Chain A
Amino acid sequence: MSNDFSSLVHWILFLPLVAAAFSALFLRRAGAFAAWFSTATAFTIAGLSLQLLLQSTGDVTWHVELAKLGEISLGFGYLIDANARLMLFVVSFVAAWIHLFSVGYMQDDAARGRFFAGLSIFMFSILGIVVADNLLMTFIFWELVGFSSYMLIAHYFDKDFAAAASKKAFITNRIGDLGFILGIALCLHLYGTLDFVALKAAAGPAVPVAVGALLMCGFLGKSAQFPLHVWLTDAMAGPTPVSALIHAATMVAAGVYFMARVSFLLAPEVLSWMAISGAGMAALAGLCALAQTDIKKSLAYSTLAHLGIMGCALGLGHPELAVLHMAMHAFFKATLFLGAGSVIHGCHHEQDMLKMGGLLKKMPLTAATFIAATLSNCAVPFFAGWYSKDAIIEAAWHGHHHAVFAFLAIAALATCLYSGRMIRLVFLGEANSEAAEHAHESPWTMTLPITVLGLVFAVGAGFAAHYLIPASSLQVVDAALTSLHFSFTAPSTIIGLLALVFGFGGALKFYGTTRGADALQVVSPRAYALLERRWMDGLYRWWIDGPQRRIAEFIAFLDLLLINGVAVRWIAGGATAALGHLTGRTFHRGQTRGYALWIVIGSLLLAWYLLAR
């Protein structure tokens, strides 16, 4: 049986690569054909993944050694366990519908061919992370996902901010990857293997903190956790389907998936950091979402918050809950982003929420799916999001992690607040601009995906998971699903209902009070400014423009001066030439800094001489 399914996995993994190569080489001009070709490929992969999910039992494995460097074996293989099956299906299913959406959304774009080739490469990369059976292979596809993200964010490359955003995303991810590769080297050093199954066997109960901490760096970069979260909001510069697919549903969740896979390598200190940092991020990002007027940026902060919740679940020691939330989140967040895309498309590329309004009547289908997904976001009982989010809050309460529980409660409230705000500003009330006045519903290629994802999955995925999928395929989440039941006295339910009533309802009312301007900004501009300011970004900016640039220029200056200038002249013309150059050209360049440098060097030499005597 294992063999049959491994060939299925070959198809799933390599079909998008072939599609990407074909698109890149031959279809760059034939935009429409490339679009439908890519979409067909994506649906095929989704079908194959569904087949894998429903039919395979037990783990599917396959392995081949690519090469040997010295004594190190570089392997390529698959390990399809319960987590992987679920993730494969979620990723490919959501991606397929997003491909369909892009057909409509990118209709007027001249570079469609490049876009769909990029989506195919991304599919290849993310599926690679899901199926990988060893750390190095995961790292390979990790980097490839980073590259796909770079390429797709820079789709509108003639805009400066898109180019800058893509660069930022790639470099921030690479900083995470730095920690990741160090963790891989450490694993190889301590355990002599990089294979997940072998590592699990070799790693005892006491894994050094460094292993988990370093591997976590990759997670911090990819899933935009503190302190590497700064790239996600800028990544909204890419086309909306890219934001939906990559920066909401799949790539950012890859980090969570990986951490769940290597959860046996995470020491308790690492887990507590993840729990607190995740919960804190969830609360903070949720609040910051209130200060964004761009609909995509607001959703980006919402994604940051949910990633924080996933990180928190991992940190609480429940990787299965994190994986479950990742799956549910993929459905409703993709719907939200696609709905936002539909709204943006309908309002002729207007992204400012303050200029929207009254779209409930103009775009009823979009509005219905958006609201359904929002309710799932807010964890309304029995919607998809409720299953996972409430389970996590329950886990925090039962584990007596009080700080984490408090942060999660704030996060729940914030979620309802910004969701209510979004619904109020975009769909209810009166149109606030010409564009909103003349909004119209989007074509079927765009509304069908959001209907499927939104009304069907964002609402019913929890049900489906519980009742329709065979337990053995989903054993990872089965425990969570069977134990969760609706009870009025459970703390999570109390928090949830309070948040819904006061948060959601309150926001609906509050944000209707001002037209064309943000109510919070009107009432308390200082609070608004505080939430809007991007602290970490400022810090990174300062470092790059200040010390890093100065140090680089200083080192270049030193190299040129000392090694090139003095040393070479010495060799070329002997001591006299060197001295002549020194006194003539090097010393007297008229720059005070140079003089200061020579004073310092001279005094250091003098001090050394005096002290060494």
Chain B
Amino acid sequence: MDTFSTLNASLLVTAIFLPILIGLILLAGRILPSSWVSGLAFLGFALPAAVVLWFLLPASGPLDAILRLRVDGPWLFKLGLNGVSTPLFAMTAVVGLAAGLKALIQEVEGRATYLGLILFMFGGTLAVFATDNIIGFYFFHEFALIPTFILTLFWGGEGRRSAAMQMAIYLTVGAMLSLGGILIAMDAAALSWDDATFGALFQGLLAAKDPLPAATGALTLFGLGTLASLFPFHSWAAPGYSAAPTPVSMLHAGALKKFGLYGIVMVAAASMQIGQGTLGQWFFWCALANLLIVGFICIAQRDLKQLLSWSSVAHMGPIFLGLWVGTAKGEAAGIDAAIFLMVAHGLSCAALFLLANAVRTRTGTYRFEELGGLAARTPVLAAFFVAATMASIGLPGFGNFWGEVGVFLSLRAEPLWVQALVASTIVVSAIYALRAVAAVFFGPASKHIEERAVHAPFGDLGFTERLAAGLLLAASLTIGFIPSLVTQCTNADARGIAAAAVRSATPKAPAAPVIPAATPKATTPAPSAR
């Protein structure tokens, strides 16, 4: 098994750093011929997905071994997967591949730089999910985020200047807040940069004096929550995704947003009492607002990309609520379901952005009033789009269903009005999603499209687009039909985090600290519950 661990570990390191390395090469080598650029970029995008595929095969060793992979080194290079991050890592690999395929067929100026920056985003996100060190987490999170501002500013669509500016300011302020929380927490736990693992932070904060965990919790929750578009810090998201180039939106809404949530789960959830007391109340109401208020905003949208951007904000609602009930009430199903929904939403959201852009490149517009009857001309696009829409509104068969229903079931002990409001998302999301589908694809062909068909005729989805969208939908269907693929990774960790969250809120007991089953330490193997 030792050879396997080394092999797997080196594959993991390669999967993360190869995209970044290739990104560097592309940024630096503007003299490279275009076919080299495409080839290298494709390698960078495809390798992580290949590594994930390898991990899925039984030949790569048992699941436990993969979840306990560790790469030691200075803080930046302390790598390793855990139960929560493995499905997210896999999802990022798939989304990144799809985004990369899309980027490769786009015609842009400064293509090498464009692809290089996207590879940075990609590699950085993968690293965030594969790091075992909190400062490493923060470092890679900024590393992945900064290229998005540049990409949106230079290669974005309408309104890109103000959108990029807004995104930059919001997300940087959020990152500063969360950094503040993390540093204070590390200081309170007396950790050095090198040994600041998630488990160590939990241990350290257990002994901390009382308002401190909640204070750091507030900073971290709202700081990372800004990245995850928690209400009321969500305003950057819709203009940002609308203006950003499609591969960037796909990666951003699909993967980057999730590492904000990942940070909340790993750093704040167990140790910083984010579900308790006043902070817990605020968390609950903000999460509910994401669901309800932003849901209504979605109903008022008349533009496809705006709708998708707002709906990706709205879908964070159930995820936050799952996290809340897990940390406030110790209901592990909430955390499990939230993680599941993170994975599934990343896939469906990326697919929708991809397909919406396919509509735009063919018809030149996103506005509902100018579209209509597209299904007759582009049946394959219509079929994929309906499938992606069904995935995003939580139709069984796709992964989103398990996440959403899991969140609803985890809230079963709450008062009925809370459950009813939360579950209303299935109706609200169906309303705006189906309306979008009908407005764009069904009905008689609109005048705009008919004119377009004459002057600038367009065809159905091409091979690459089908491949990219197909990958995303196939992944969603896979976890929809075989949910245990995700839950066997996350279940134990979710239970550990929920138990730890509830325990950390109770008055400090003088008992000996028990390592939570959630986060294995750097060198010792994880105990019990497997």
Q: Show the binding face of A for B, using Cβ within 8 Å.
A: 66-72, 74, 136, 139-141, 143-144, 147, 150-151, 154, 157-160, 162-164, 166-167, 170-171, 174-175, 177-178, 181-182, 184-186, 188-189, 210, 548-549, 551-553, 555-556, 559, 563-564, 567-568, 571-572
Contact = CB atoms under 8 A, between A and B. Distances in A.
Interface of B: 166, 169-170, 173, 232, 234-235, 293, 296-297, 299-301, 326, 331-337, 340, 373, 375-376, 386, 390, 395-397, 401-402, 405-406, 408-413, 416, 419-420, 423-424, 426-427, 430-431, 434-435, 438, 441-445, 482-484, 486-488, 491, 494-495, 498
Contacts of A182: 408, 416, 419-420, 423
Give the dominant DSSP class at B's interface: helix
B419 A70 contact: no
A66 B483 contact: yes
B409 A72 contact: yes
A67 B487 contact: yes
Contacts, number: 159
Given A139-B405, A177-B426, 19 more contacts: A68-B491, A69-B340, A70-B337, A143-B395, A147-B390, A167-B438, A174-B426, A175-B427, A181-B426, A182-B408, A186-B416, A552-B297, A552-B299, A556-B297, A556-B300, A559-B235, A567-B232, A568-B166, A572-B169
Contact of B405 (A68, A136, A552, A559): A136
Contacts of A188: 409, 412
Contact of A67 (B170, B235, B397, B402): B402
Given A70-B494, A143-B395, A552 B334 contact: no
A564 B232 CA distance: 9
Given A141-B396, A185-B419, A164 B438 contact: yes
Contacts of B442: 154, 157-158, 160, 162-163
Contacts of B412: 185-186, 188-189
A67 B484 contact: yes
A157 B434 CA distance: 13
12 contacts: A66-B484, A69-B336, A69-B340, A150-B434, A157-B375, A158-B373, A163-B438, A171-B431, A171-B434, A181-B408, A186-B416, A567-B232
Contacts of A552: 296-297, 299-300
A72 B441 contact: no
B297 A74 contact: no
Nearest to A142: B396
Contacts of A143: 395-396, 401
B300 A555 contact: yes
Contact of A69 (B333, B376, B411, B416): B333
Nearest to A154: B442
B483 A74 contact: yes
Nearest to B442: A163
A554 to B, nearest CB: 8
Contacts of B441: 157
- List 9 tightest A-B contacts by C-beta distance, closest first: A70-B333, A70-B332, A163-B442, A552-B300, A552-B299, A67-B483, A189-B412, A140-B396, A185-B412
A352 B419 CA distance: 46
A456 B432 CA distance: 46
A162 B405 CA distance: 30
Given A70-B498, A178-B420, A553 B336 contact: no
A228 to B, nearest CB: 12
Contact of A158 (B376, B426, B482): B376
A144 B396 CA distance: 7
Contact of A171 (B293, B430, B444): B430
B81 to A, nearest CB: 20
A71 B419 contact: no
A161 B125 CA distance: 45
Contacts of A147: 390, 395
Contacts of B434: 150, 167, 170-171
